[in-house]
Structure 1
Amino acid sequence: MTELSEAEKTAFEAATFRRLLAHLDARPDVQNIDLMNLAGFCRNCLANWYGEAAKEAGVALSKDETREIVYGMPYEEWKAKHQTEASDKKKAAFEKNRPHG
């Protein structure tokens, strides 16, 4: 395996994260509940993880700020444009598999 420098790892991880956000941005039809039910994480989780990483680095970002970074717009605007009501089946699946903690 090729040995990567820490700077290369960080750059590649950042590029991968940007690509993930671009992919999610191109797929607003994929609802957070779909992501949670299939993968156990969603856009909000990414925003939370971003905020935790910033905090660890000594940078205080609000939940609204991290969500805007992930969603590419204010969260309430994204919800108004793209969020749909989840079916009872999706809600039941979410409750069954809901992460605790």
Structure 2
Amino acid sequence: MTKTKTPLTQSEQDALDAATFRRLLAHLDDNKDVQNIDLIITGNFCRNCLSKWYKSSADDAGIAVSDDAARERIYGMPYGEWKDNHQPPATEAQLAAFKARTAK
């Protein structure tokens, strides 16, 4: 039996958007080996972009969120800690791909 498609209410859409965002954060947290530079090369965004979007959304809503708090929400820990534990130096191949991507 097929369900009839009905438009989502704004509340339902907001709830689904929020759940999807939490799932994206969990996925990124479970895949710390995927480096920000790789995300930029392939997707033109990274965890830092997400933290800036988060901060911008807070600003738009009149909610006080610092840059550090936004990064911690995205990274699941203070940014410096994440960087020290999960971000090795970029390889020559990554740097070349990044340069090629950003030269477009």
1:79 aligned counterpart, secondary structure? helix
- Corresponding residue of 1:21: 25
Determine the C-alpha separation between the residues in 2 that align with 1:95 and 1:52.
Answer: 27
Q: 1:71 aligns with which of 71, 75, 78?
A: 75
Which string of whole-angstrom CA distances, capped at 9 and with x for unpartnered residues, describes residues 32-84 of structure 1?
Answer: 00110010001000000000000000112111110000000000000111001
Specify the structure having the higher radius of gyration (Cα).
2
Query: Given residue 80 of structure 1, which amino acid in structure 2 is its aligned partner?
Result: D
Give the structure, 1 or 2, with the largest relative contact order (CA under 8 Å, sep 6 or more). 1
- Structure 1 residue runs of 5 or longer lacking an equivalent are none
- Corresponding residue of 2:37: 33
TM norm structure 2: 0.90
Q: Does 1:51 pair with 2:55?
A: yes
Q: Does 1:81 pair with 2:96?
A: no
RMSD: 1.5
Between the aligned residues of both structures, percent identity stands at 53
| Residues 84-99 of structure 1 aligned to structure 2 (within 5 Å) | 84-98=88-102
